[in-house]
Amino acid sequence: MLKKIKELLLINKTLPAKEQELRVLEEKLQDREKLIEDITLQVKESIEVEKEKILSDAKAEASSILEETQKEVAKRSKEKVAYEEQNAILEDELLNKRTELAKIVKSAKKYSNESQGIKNLIDRFPEAVNFDEIQKELEILEESLRDGVLDTIVSLDLHHKDSKLLRKEMSANNREIKKLLKTYQARYTTKANLTIYNLMVIGLQAELQNILYTLSYSNIEKAEESAKALINKYLTICGEGNASILSTITRFLTELEPLFLNAIKMEYKCYIQKEKEKEEQRRIKEQMRQEAEEKRILEQERKKIEKEEEKYLNEMAKNQELLEKETDEGKIAALQARLAELQGQVDKLEEQKEEIVKRANGRAGYVYVISNLGSFGENTFKVGMTRRLNPLDRIDELGDASVPFKFDVQAMVFSDNAVDLEQQLHQILDDNRVNKINLRKEFFYTTVQELQSIVEEIDPTVEFITTLKAVEYHQSQSIMKEKQEQLA
């Protein structure tokens, strides 16, 4: 009992201290909660401030972008208006120039007719012509033209004007013509002879313009003959007229003729270039047509392979079903062997399908070098490309009714980029093209040894056949020889 009383007294003594500790802990807890509340409040305030800042920055940036966009739109609108105004001005100028050109052409025709009339008058009635008056008229005409009577009276819309390079070449040739004209003009001391010379120059220039204007891709020989005939015509006229100036006129026309022929050749270059451009377009269309045809054939082959693959897969499914039910070891082994064989066939077909997809969607294919001794001789070869799975099908098509004998294959090169390989070979052989205008005709003059060297340099692993077999050709020659011997 005494012991219990002592314990109770001890508890009463320690109780106030414990209560004090509890109060301290409660105060600390309250302080911590307040601290947490303060921190939470600060975080919220900080987030709110950051949020406002982000929104403010975003609004400012959006406002700036909008302002810049509005400025750009306004700028573009002004530019559009300016362009439209400029375009309207240019259209007006073009209309005025066309009107002015029409007047000049009309005036030139008038002067040309008048000069021809004067020339005829001089030829028929030389004693009735007042050369002093004619010279005055020529001076007036010269004043109305920038380069005088030595310039072209009629300037037609010729094709060389479309090319900067050809304009430069033609200008150089025209300068040579004018230089020659001025040189001989200085040799005439009398007004009568000078008048005749100036009239002749006007006629020559006008007729040259007409020859150039009527030039086409197919009539350069005719144009050159016309130029020569023009020179001869004036030689004949002068020969029948004033004998005192005949020798000078003859030298003049002889020197003028090659310059006129040069002008024709320069103008003709435009037709050659335009024809090449047309052929290039035809070549591209032909290539597209050929590619479409090859894709169509590849698609047919793909469907054929899929049909064959379906047959193998159906047989495999049946054999697999039998295998699951079979208990005889011999039959099981036979079924497993057949399944393995069918799987091998399916794998091969899958490879072929992948190859078809690769050919149809990519640039892979075969570049071939072929010859036709009986049709083209021993030094003419065709270098082309095909995407066919069996490239010999394409070679057989080329040897159809359009040529008397089949083609022989000298080399067949597979490439993942057959298009570039074909172009590379064509570039190397470009100077040896048989047809230099129609580039779709892929025939080249060369030797089999040179071709072998070019091909093996690109791909040393290629098997190149140097013998031109030409079996049908040699057999045909043999039959002809036998018949000739029988007739003899």
Listed residues 220, 248, 281: the one ending a domain: 281
Q: Which domain, by its residues, includes 137?
A: 102-281
> Does residue 144 sit in the same domain as residue 187?
yes
> Does residue 151 sit in the same domain as residue 232?
yes
Beta carbons within 8 Å of 457's beta carbon, 6+ residues apart:
none
> Does residue 316 sit in the same domain as residue 263?
no
> Does residue 373 sit in the same domain as residue 308?
no
Token output for 455:
């091909």
How far apart are alpha carbons 121 and 219 in whole angstroms? 34
The predicted structure's pLDDT at residue 165: 63
CB 371 within 8 A of CB 410: yes
Phi and psi of 404, rounded to 5°? -75, -20
CB 197 within 8 A of CB 294: no
> Does residue 393 sit in the same domain as residue 349?
no
> Does residue 310 sit in the same domain as residue 206?
no
How far apart are alpha carbons 428 and 289 in whole angstroms? 26
CB 389 within 8 A of CB 352: yes
Q: b/e per residue, 111-133, with b = 16+ CB within 10 A? A: bbeebeebbeebeeeeeebebee
The helix (H) or strand (E) run that includes residue 387 is: none
Question: Degrees (nearest 5) of the Cα angle 172, 177, 178?
Answer: 95
> Does residue 352 sit in the same domain as residue 408?
no
Mean pLDDT by 10 residues, the chain (488 residues): 62 69 72 70 71 74 74 75 72 69 62 55 55 56 45 46 65 78 76 75 79 77 84 77 70 81 81 73 72 77 84 85 82 84 85 72 82 93 88 86 88 86 92 86 93 88 87 89 82
How far apart are alpha carbons 385 and 378 in whole angstroms? 21
Listed residues 333, 361, 389: the one ending a domain: 361
Listed residues 338, 361, 384: the one ending a domain: 361
> Does residue 347 sit in the same domain as residue 310?
yes
Q: Is residue 169 part of a domain?
A: yes
The predicted structure's pLDDT at residue 266: 80
> Does residue 106 sit in the same domain as residue 219?
yes
How many structural domains compose the chain?
A: 3
Q: Is residue 44 part of a domain?
A: no
> Does residue 372 sit in the same domain as residue 462?
yes
The predicted structure's pLDDT at residue 213: 77
> Does residue 239 sit in the same domain as residue 342?
no
Q: Is residue 234 part of a domain?
A: yes
The predicted structure's pLDDT at residue 434: 93
In a 13 Å sphere around the CA of 214, the CA atoms on its Cβ side amount to: 12
Q: Is residue 404 part of a domain?
A: yes
Q: Is residue 461 part of a domain?
A: yes
Q: Is residue 238 part of a domain?
A: yes
> Does residue 259 sit in the same domain as residue 389?
no
How far apart are alpha carbons 88 and 171 in whole angstroms? 32
Q: Is residue 451 part of a domain?
A: yes
The helix (H) or strand (E) run that includes residue 292 is: helix 246-325
Q: Is residue 52 part of a domain?
A: no
The predicted structure's pLDDT at residue 156: 42
